[in-house]
Amino acid sequence: MESQSFFVCTKEDSWFKPPHSSLFVPLGDLDHLKILQRSFVITYMDKCCNNFVFVCKMFYVSSVFSELNSPVGSYVVSNLPQSDILKFHLSFNKAHNFKGVKCGPCLPVLSVVWKFHKNPIKPRFIYAASSTSLTDVPKWLCSFFKAMSPTVNDLWVSKLKKAYVPCDSSWILNDSTGVVKVINNLNRLRSEIDKASPLLLQSFDFLTLYTKNDLVDLKARMRVLIKCLIRC
């Protein structure tokens, strides 16, 4: 990824105030932004949203097309017009008692932020689902998974105990503040013999998530998990 495709500024830069900011934006600054937007897409830096990134528009578009045409097949081209897709979403919402968006619903929009903490710099694709035709669906799913969390925790513990792995709770965390508690718990459960040898802490991260998974396989696994949770 070529470095000349980007340049960065911060919110503190006096000449740059984003149009959606609650701060007063002089007309001269807005004119400058409009000129910049002819050649650049203004987005922000992943994990550092106070920094704005100006990306070459052609490079931005090519990155999006590369993602949409990934060989995994997560995206399917629809031959239907947007109006027909929105009608289908409306009927889906009614059938499942979702409210949907009453005024001017639209389809989710694909956008890109940039991972400057990676070398080389990498894109992170985000699907804006606010005020769209299916906004209530992810909200319901989040509520469902949150309600199921205690059952998932119990299932996790029982599976590990059957494998003779000492465990009082799952390793699922909502945020980084729970890391210390989990590590302390794991250390507490180690036997005196285990404590005699050093324990090397290893961390892992997902390179790609939803868009690189086999969605048919993912849905099948989720179906089995949900049935198991309901039985619990």
Instruction: Give the domain range for residue 127.
Output: 3-134
Mark whether 121 and 35 lie in a shared domain.
Answer: yes
To which H or E segment does residue 224 belong?
helix 215-231
Mark whether 54 and 79 lie in a shared domain.
Answer: yes
Mark whether 70 and 149 lie in a shared domain.
Answer: no
Tens-binned pLDDT, residue by residue, of the chain (232 aa): 444 455 555 544 444 444 444 445 566 777 888 888 888 998 888 888 788 888 999 999 999 998 888 877 778 888 999 889 988 988 988 898 887 666 567 888 888 999 988 888 888 888 877 778 888 888 888 888 888 888 888 888 888 888 887 777 777 777 778 888 878 877 777 778 877 887 777 777 666 666 667 778 888 888 888 887 777 6
Rounded to whole angstroms, how far apart are CA atoms 56 and 112?
A: 12
Q: ∠ CA(108), CA(66), CA(124), 5° rounding? A: 60
Mark whether 88 and 195 lie in a shared domain.
Answer: no
